[in-house]
Amino acid sequence: MVGVGGVVPAVAGAVAVVWGDLVPGTPGWYLWADLAGGVLACAGLWLCRRWPIAASLAVVALSVPAAAASVAAGIATLVAALYRRPPAAVAVGVAWVAATLVRFALRPPGLAPYPVWALVGVLFGGAITGWGILARTRRELLASLAERARRAEADQRLRAEEARRAERLGIAREMHDVLAHRLSLLAVHAGALEFNAGARPDEVAEAAGVIRASAHQALQELRGVISVLRESPSAEFPLTGLAPLVEESRRAGMRIELREHDVRFADLPEATRRTAYRVVQEGLTNARKHAPGRPVTVVVSGAAGGELTVEVRNPLLAGREAEGLAETGAGAGLAGLEERVTLAGGNLELGPADGGWFRLAARLPWPRERPDE
Say whether pLDDT at 299 is over 90: yes
Domain positions in the chain = 4-143, 155-227, 243-366
Between residues 156 and 231, the one the model is more confident about: 156
User: What is the CATH architecture assignment of 243-366?
Assistant: 2-Layer Sandwich (3.30)
Range 155-172 average pLDDT:
78
Q: Which of 135, 31, 43 is nearest to 83 (CA)?
A: 135
In the predicted structure, residue 358 carries a pLDDT above the cut 80:
yes
Which pLDDT value is given to residue 188?
Answer: 63
H or E element at residue 52: helix 52-62
- For the entire predicted model, the pTM comes to 0.43
Supply the pLDDT for residue 175: 63
Pairing of strands 357-366, 347-353: antiparallel
Residue 309: what pLDDT? 93
User: What whole-number distance in Å separates Cα of residue 298 and Cα of residue 361?
Assistant: 10
pLDDT digits (tens, 9 = 90+) for 111-139: 778 888 888 888 888 888 888 889 888 98
Residue type, 367: P
Q: How confident is the model at residue 208 (pLDDT cuts 50, 70, 90)?
A: confident
Amino acid 171: pLDDT: 67
Per-residue model confidence (pLDDT) at position 296 = 92
Reduced to 3 states, what is the DSSP secondary structure of residue 297?
strand
Q: In residues, how long is the chain?
A: 373
When mean pLDDT is compared across 172-181, 199-208, 263-272, the lowest value belongs to: 172-181
User: What integer best gives the mean pLDDT of the chain?
Assistant: 77
Q: Once rounded to an integer, what is the mean pLDDT over residues 139-159?
A: 89
Please report, for residues 45, 183, 201, 208, 209, the alpha-carbon distance to residue 189 in angstroms, rounded to integers and kept in the order given: 88, 10, 15, 8, 10
Query: How far apart, in whole angstroms, are the C-alpha atoms of residue 3 and residue 8?
Result: 8
